[in-house]
């Protein structure tokens, strides 16, 4: 019984600490987002775009079986407002018609292109260039995974900065202009993350999100709220502490040479295969720069938006969440030497412990707390029931308050969902998610922990519906 007692204290400690972190990051994010909104008022992008001072950027878009969305995504990438960029689309040995569709849509011709780095990768089969759009290149390679495809892109990119995006993402037209700002203002910047938003339910026209809207499916709606919490509260808060730990693989800008020096993305060809290659790279950049005593900064900008399609079925969402959890654990355990290591400063003492212990291993505590809750509910003495109910209420209301806070942050800053009904829906979702969705998430993440423990390396499959839906 001491075990139950100990566990209950661990659970309460975890609960308090986790929510304290969420609360602090939300508060800090509030201040930062206000500043950022003022800043956008103060100096719009136009003078910078026309100044000719923006550094060249290569967009790396790996594609694997993306026949549904690859042409639209590529068109969106070609329509960005940025003076000097090229698009390198890497077909990672797709088994569907991805390459054929690209060839047909963009009249691709085989061309020579010199590699500029030699990160180990799978075999490159052919390189194509669009005959009438000179800044579009397609590299066809043997399948090696997303990280391997990105490494091929890095090997063939020739600009000081590269932007990694998912081929199924839609970047907003001004996304590059905004994400490059930290690099212009601080040349120590080695990586910058942008915000990911959910495209499901939005009206897409001419390769751009014309009218953002809430998705139709309840599962996707919950994810909208989660993304608010993760990107507006979480990442913004960590950025304020100069401890950005995660840059989403769907949209991030990197200093090419630093990434090459650090060894590129982790893949089976570079000796460490992980499904969390985006997290692993950022952790490794922190480690590499601190080990080398290089001044550096990993930054996050809340405004450059990449829209992405989120899973709408339980099985797909399970695979995604399980994979994210596994990726987080793979990335953090690979660099376990950073944990509470003074050499790594606030990364080693704040961000790393938070992500490894509270986010990585937390679901185990969370899940067993749910199990214990129901066990106690049916087995405890009736006098003690109010305790259990009260504790549940604290947890429920706290979760709800944090979600409401994330909605406030959205309203304060970018206001992408203009309908009043959307706001009400978001409030409703904040209440509803405690009844089933959070528990399911905890279960999926536990499955992710299990997959990590047994050494599973599979990615799972995501079926795309495409961006264009009837309004």
Partner 1 sequence: MTANNAWPAFLALNPMEEPILAPLNIMVLALLIVTLVLALFAIGLRLRNSRHTLLWQSLHAIWDRDILAVLSEDLDPAHLNRLVEPGQELNFLRYLALYAYRLRGSDLERLSTLAHPYLSHAARQLEDSDPEVRAWAVNILNLFGMPNQKHTLLAALQDSSPTVAMFAANALLAHKLTDHLGSVMDQLHRFEKWNLNSLASLLASSGIHAIPIMERIFLDPTRQTRTRVVAADVLNRLNYYAVADSAALLLQQETDTTMQIAILRLLSGVGRERHRAAVREQCASTSDSVRVNAMRTLRHLGNRDDCELFRQAITDSNPWVARQAAWALKSLGDTSSLQALALQQHPRAVMARQVLAEIG
Rule CB under 8 A: say whether 43 interacts with partner 1. yes
Integer Cα distance of 172 and 207 in angstroms: 9
Instruction: Give the three-state DSSP class for 179.
Output: helix
Report the residue number, 70 or 90, with the smaller CB distance to partner 1: 90
Interactions with partner 1, residue window 182-201 (CB under 8 A): 183-188
Report the residue number, 339 or 408, with the smaller CB distance to partner 1: 408
Rule CB under 8 A: say whether 415 interacts with partner 1. yes
Rule CB under 8 A: say whether 116 interacts with partner 1. yes
Report the residue number, 364 or 376, with the smaller CB distance to partner 1: 376
To partner 1, the closest distance from the beta carbon of 174 in angstroms equals 14
To partner 1, the closest distance from the beta carbon of 443 in angstroms equals 23
Rule CB under 8 A: say whether 113 interacts with partner 1. yes
The DSSP element (H or E) to which 112 belongs, if any, is: none
Report the residue number, 95 or 383, with the smaller CB distance to partner 1: 383
Instruction: Quickly count helices (H) and strands (E) in the chain.
Output: 18, 12
To partner 1, the closest distance from the beta carbon of 112 in angstroms equals 3
Give the one residue of 79, 384, 453, 468 binding partner 1; rule: CB under 8 A: 384
CA-CA distances (angstroms) from residue 154 to 120, 274, 291? 11, 18, 23
Contact by Cβ (8 Å): 430, 400: yes
Integer Cα distance of 90 and 356 in angstroms: 32
Contact by Cβ (8 Å): 256, 162: yes
Contact by Cβ (8 Å): 82, 181: no
To partner 1, the closest distance from the beta carbon of 381 in angstroms equals 7
Rule CB under 8 A: say whether 27 interacts with partner 1. no
Rule CB under 8 A: say whether 333 interacts with partner 1. no
To partner 1, the closest distance from the beta carbon of 383 in angstroms equals 5
User: Considering only CA atoms, which of 266, 297, 296 is closest in space to residue 280?
Assistant: 266
User: Considering only CA atoms, which of 372, 361, 366, 357 is closest in space to residue 443?
Assistant: 366
Give the one residue of 400, 432, 440, 462 binding partner 1; rule: CB under 8 A: 400
DSSP string of 376-432, one letter each residue: HHHHS-GGGHHHHHHHHHHHHHHHHHHHHHHHHHHHHHT-----HHHHHHHHHHHHH
To partner 1, the closest distance from the beta carbon of 386 in angstroms equals 5
Integer Cα distance of 253 and 194 in angstroms: 8
Integer Cα distance of 179 and 59 in angstroms: 12
Integer Cα distance of 467 and 171 in angstroms: 12
Report the residue number, 44 or 216, with the smaller CB distance to partner 1: 44
Q: Under 8 Å CB-to-CB from 86, ≥6 apart: which residues?
A: 56, 57, 58, 59, 135, 136, 137, 159
Partners of residue 195 on adjacent β-strands: 305
Rule CB under 8 A: say whether 84 interacts with partner 1. no
Interactions with partner 1, residue window 313-332 (CB under 8 A): none
Rule CB under 8 A: say whether 16 interacts with partner 1. no
Give the one residue of 56, 115, 263, 466 binding partner 1; rule: CB under 8 A: 115
Give the one residue of 42, 95, 293, 454 binding partner 1; rule: CB under 8 A: 42
Rule CB under 8 A: say whether 53 interacts with partner 1. yes
From 5-13, 82-90, 142-150, 446-454, span contacting partner 1 (CB under 8 A):
5-13
Report the residue number, 105 or 431, with the smaller CB distance to partner 1: 431
To partner 1, the closest distance from the beta carbon of 40 in angstroms equals 9
Rule CB under 8 A: say whether 35 interacts with partner 1. yes
Total residues at interface with partner 1 (CB under 8 A) = 57
Rule CB under 8 A: say whether 5 interacts with partner 1. yes
To partner 1, the closest distance from the beta carbon of 405 in angstroms equals 6
Give the one residue of 112, 421, 435, 454 binding partner 1; rule: CB under 8 A: 112
Rule CB under 8 A: say whether 120 interacts with partner 1. no
Q: Under 8 Å CB-to-CB from 438, ≥6 apart: which residues?
A: 399
Give the one residue of 21, 27, 339, 388 binding partner 1; rule: CB under 8 A: 388
Residue showing tokens 């970047």: 171
| DSSP single-letter state for residue 433 | T
Report the residue number, 51 or 313, with the smaller CB distance to partner 1: 51
Integer Cα distance of 187 and 191 in angstroms: 11
Contact by Cβ (8 Å): 172, 197: no
Rule CB under 8 A: say whether 371 interacts with partner 1. no
DSSP string of 26-95, one letter each residue: HHHHHHHHHHHHHHHHHS-SHHHHHHT-PPPEEEEEEESS-TTTHHHHHHHHHT---SSEEEEEEEE--S
Give the one residue of 376, 440, 446, 462 binding partner 1; rule: CB under 8 A: 376
Question: Which chain residues interact with partner 1 by CB under 8 A?
Answer: 1, 4-5, 8-9, 35, 38-39, 41-44, 46-47, 51-53, 55, 111-117, 183-188, 376, 380-381, 383-384, 386-388, 390-391, 393-394, 397-398, 400-401, 404-405, 407-408, 411-412, 415, 420, 423, 427
């Amino acid at each position: 019984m001491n075990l139950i007692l100990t566990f209950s204290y661990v659970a309460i400690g975890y609960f308090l600490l986790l929510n304290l972190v969420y609360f602090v990051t939300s508060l800090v994010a509030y201040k930062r987002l206000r500043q950022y909104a003022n800043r956008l008022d103060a100096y719009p992008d136009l003078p910078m775009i026309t100044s000719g001072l923006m550094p060249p950027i290569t967009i790396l878009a790996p594609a694997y079986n993306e026949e549904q969305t690859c042409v639209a995504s590529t068109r969106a990438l070609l329509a960005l407002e940025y003076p000097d960029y090229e698009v390198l689309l890497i077909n990672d040995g797709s088994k569907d018609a991805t390459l054929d569709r690209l060839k047909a849509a963009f009249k691709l011709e085989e061309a020579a292109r010199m590699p500029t780095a030699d990160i180990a990768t799978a075999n490159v089969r052919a390189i194509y260039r669009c005959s009438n759009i000179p800044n579009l290149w397609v590299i066809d390679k043997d399948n090696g995974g997303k990280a391997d495809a990105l490494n091929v892109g890095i090997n063939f990119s020739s600009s000081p900065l590269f932007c990694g995006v998912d081929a199924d993402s839609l970047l907003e037209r001004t996304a590059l202009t905004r994400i490059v700002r930290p690099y212009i203002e601080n040349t120590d910047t080695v990586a910058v993350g942008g915000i990911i938003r959910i495209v499901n339910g939005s009206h897409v026209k001419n390769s751009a999100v014309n009218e953002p809207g809430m998705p139709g499916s309840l599962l996707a709606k919950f994810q909208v709220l989660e993304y608010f919490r993760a990107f507006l509260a979480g990442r913004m808060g960590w950025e304020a502490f100069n401890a950005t730990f995660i840059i989403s693989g769907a949209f991030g800008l990197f200093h090419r040479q630093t990434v090459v020096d650090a060894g590129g993305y982790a893949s089976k060809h570079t000796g460490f295969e992980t499904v969390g290659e985006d997290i692993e790279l950022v952790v490794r950049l922190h480690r590499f720069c601190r080990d080398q005593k290089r001044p550096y900064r990993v930054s996050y900008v809340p405004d450059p938006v990449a829209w992405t399609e989120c899973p709408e079925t339980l099985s797909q969402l399970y695979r995604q969440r399980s994979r994210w959890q596994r990726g987080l654990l793979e990335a953090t355990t690979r660099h376990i030497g950073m944990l509470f290591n003074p050499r790594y400063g606030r990364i080693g003492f704040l961000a790393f412990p938070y992500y490894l212990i509270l986010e990585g291993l937390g679901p185990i505590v969370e899940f067993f707390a749910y199990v214990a809750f129901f066990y106690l509910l049916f087995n405890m003495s009736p006098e003690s029931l109010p305790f259990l109910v009260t504790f549940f209420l604290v947890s429920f209301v706290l979760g709800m308050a944090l979600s409401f806070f994330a909605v406030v942050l959205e309203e304060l800053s970018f206001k992408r969902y203009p309908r009043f009904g959307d706001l009400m829906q978001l409030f409703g979702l904040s209440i509803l998610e405690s009844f089933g969705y959070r528990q399911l998430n905890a279960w999926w993440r536990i499955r992710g922990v299990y997959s990590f423990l047994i050494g599973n390396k599979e990615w799972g499959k995501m079926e795309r519906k495409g961006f264009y839906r009837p309004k």
